[in-house]
Amino acid sequence: MGAGNVGATLAQRIADAELADVVLIDIVEGMPQGKGLDMMEATPVEGSDARVLGTNDYSDTASSDVVVITAGIARKPGMSRDDLLNTNYKIVKDCTENALKYSPDAILIVVSNPLDAMCQVAYRVSGLPKHRVFGMAGVLDSARMRTFMAMELGVSVENNHAFVLGGHGDTMVPLPRYSTVSGIPITELLSPERVEAIVKRTAQGGAEIVSLLKTGSAYYAPSSSTAEMVEAVLKDKHKILPCCCFLEGEFGINDLYVGVPAQLGAKGIEKIWEIRLSDGERAALHKSAAAVRELLEVLKL
Ligand SMILES: NC(=O)c1ccc[n+]([C@@H]2O[C@H](COP(=O)([O-])OP(=O)(O)OC[C@H]3O[C@@H](n4cnc5c(N)ncnc54)[C@H](O)[C@@H]3O)[C@@H](O)[C@H]2O)c1
């Protein structure tokens, strides 16, 4: 849903990897059709037999296994993700209702911002069980942290693992203790000042791209991150990734979508991994959850 920067780049990644057939839907007439046809014409060169269809008609999306919602407006310089709240609320509600009408068995992955609040919208509107509605943010935030770790240490990004939890905003919670290079926590490899610099740059990672682009927000890393989640579902990988999940008591948080480590497979969220947090980390997660809750109060959700 949404054939803009994130949606179209995600479609391209999925089609090129021959992961699934893709339907791109948008309200702009002609644009998804044009992008879809263009992507189809790339498949002979890419060696992929995936089919891509662009449309403005939800009936073309019928019987989808996975629905990804990227529809909505993106940030411009000076805007926070929260500034998108009211506009994207209506759009995400509309997309969820229409998508579910034609694909009642689908798994719903939300990408539109403000992410945690939009997950709650999709969950409430869809009436689906919580394991079938979740959001992408932690994979992206962790990928940014992994990139900065690799740049700092001059090592392969493949040696890196990072965990960023919490809401997808300024209060996100990068966890240096659980962020490792070849299994070694970065807290043992870098000075506290360098660790703090990586944490700060990670939390500001989206704003850094927005200020450079000036006309929109990031989409290459966001689409890669979403593709990883789609793949985990379609291939039933039981893969542990930071996902925005509905919590009912886990980490001491109730009735709220927030980013936590989760195991992803064909049924969606199979399990939330309740890793042990220090008092400081737990307090930061709760502060982040409180910021998400404030947004939901505006929406009365
Ligand atoms: N969760 C994350 O980590 C993350 C990362 C990047 C972007 N985002 C968010 O994803 C969203 C999309 O970003 P983008 O860069 O692709 O924006 P974009 O403006 O390039 O694309 C959005 C598309 O949504 C379409 N749209 C609007 N209303 C619609 C509706 N009712 N039905 C179907 N389509 C509709 C627009 O026509 C547009 O083509 C934004 O809200 C952005 O903030 C989230």
pLDDT tens over the chain, length 301 residues: 999 999 999 999 999 999 999 999 999 999 999 999 999 999 999 999 999 999 999 999 999 999 999 999 988 888 888 889 999 999 999 999 999 999 999 999 999 999 999 999 999 999 999 999 999 999 999 999 999 999 999 999 999 999 999 999 989 999 999 999 999 999 999 999 999 999 999 999 999 999 999 999 999 999 999 999 999 999 999 999 999 999 999 999 999 999 999 999 999 999 999 999 999 999 999 999 999 999 999 888 8
SS3 79: coil
Whole-model pTM: value is: 0.97
Around Cβ 201, how many Cβ atoms within 10 Å? 17
SS3 290: helix
First-last CA distance in the chain: 22
Q: Hey, what are 21's tokens? A: 């057939």
User: Would the CB of 91 count as within 6 Å of ligand 1?
Assistant: yes
Among protein residues, the one whose CA lies closest to atom 12 of ligand 1: 70
Please choose from 1, 25, 26 the residue to mutate so as to test ligand 1's pocket, defined by most ligand atoms within 8 A of CB: 26
Fill in the DSSP letter of residue 189: T
Atom of ligand 1 nearest to the CA of 7: 16
Which of 24, 7, 20, 9 lies closest to 48 in space, CA to CA?
20
Atom of ligand 1 nearest to the CA of 75: 43
Fill in the DSSP letter of residue 188: G
Among protein residues, the one whose CA lies closest to atom 31 of ligand 1: 91
Among protein residues, the one whose CA lies closest to atom 22 of ligand 1: 4
SS3 168: coil
Q: Which residue has the tokens 């049924």?
A: 267
SS3 40: helix
User: Would the CB of 230 count as within 6 Å of ligand 1?
Assistant: no
Please choose from 70, 97, 102 the residue to mutate so as to test ligand 1's pocket, defined by most ligand atoms within 8 A of CB: 70
Query: What is the H or E stretch that residue 255 is in?
Result: strand 254-265
Would residue 168 show up in a list of annotated catalytic residues for this protein? yes
User: Would the CB of 100 count as within 6 Å of ligand 1?
Assistant: no
